[in-house]
């Protein structure tokens, strides 16, 4: 049996691996949060240029990944830049979990489109500025590790230990499910 994960699942796994259990084993669904709703509206309203294709859905069974890429900018026929739209606070150092999500996007784009990802540009809607994110082999390794571990969680139906960081639990949309398990 094959399991497909989203690029966003990679980030969520590093936030707390229990989220994967709740999503894929219990199939727990949560309502759209304010941040999700706001993010959707922001994505719809942004024009990133004429060479950018917006909201590109990609799927690769070899990687066990699916994802929607916010923007793909064609540099030439063999080279693209990925554009990620973020509505969060500006000037904040991007966590490795977010970089792993972007690495998953790069891996997905390269494998399915047979192109080279030159760079990943993050567009901050607050400042209306781009910043460049550097993805290294470490982040690609994080993706491979997460997919392997998430597959074990789902197929084994084993609930992982909690994150250990109670601060994360406060904002977690799956908190209600966790409260029943503790």
pLDDT tens digits for the chain (182 residues)?
689 999 999 999 999 999 999 999 999 887 666 655 665 566 566 777 778 999 999 999 999 999 999 999 999 999 999 999 987 666 567 888 899 999 999 999 999 999 999 999 999 888 888 999 988 999 999 999 999 999 999 999 999 987 777 777 777 888 777 865 54
Residue 179 has what pLDDT? Answer: 64
Per the structure, the count of domains in the chain is 1
Residue 171 has what pLDDT? Answer: 74
Q: Is 99 left (phi over 0), alpha (psi -120 to 50) or beta?
A: alpha
Q: Could you tell me the residue range of the domain that residue 46 belongs to?
A: 5-181
| pTM higher than the cut 0.85 | yes
Cα(86)–Cα(130) distance, rounded to whole angstroms? 10
* CA dist list (Å): 125 to 37, 54, 148: 15, 16, 34
Cα(106)–Cα(97) distance, rounded to whole angstroms? 14
20: domain CATH number? 3.90.320.10
Between helix 7-15 and helix 137-156 the angle, nearest 10°, is 80
Residue 37 has what pLDDT? Answer: 62
């Amino acid at each position: 049996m094959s399991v497909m994960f989203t690029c966003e699942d990679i980030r969520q796994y590093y936030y707390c691996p229990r989220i994967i259990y709740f999503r894929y084993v219990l199939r727990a669904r949560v309502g759209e949060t304010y941040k999700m709703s706001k993010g959707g509206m922001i994505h719809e309203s942004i024009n990133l240029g004429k060479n950018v294709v917006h909201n590109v859905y990609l799927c690769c069974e070899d990687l066990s990944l699916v994802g929607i890429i916010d923007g793909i900018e064609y540099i030439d026929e063999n080279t693209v830049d990925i554009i990620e739209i973020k509505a969060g606070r500006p000037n904040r150092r991007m966590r490795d979990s977010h970089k792993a999500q972007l690495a998953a996007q790069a891996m997905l784009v390269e494998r399915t489109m047979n192109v080279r990802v030159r760079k990943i540009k993050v567009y901050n809607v607050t400042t209306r500025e781009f910043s460049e994110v550097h993805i290294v082999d470490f982040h690609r390794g994080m993706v491979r590790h997460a997919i392997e571990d998430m597959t074990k969680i789902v197929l084994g139906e084993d609930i992982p230990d909690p994150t250990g960081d109670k601060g994360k639990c406060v904002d977690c949309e799956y908190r209600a499910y966790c409260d029943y398990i503790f």
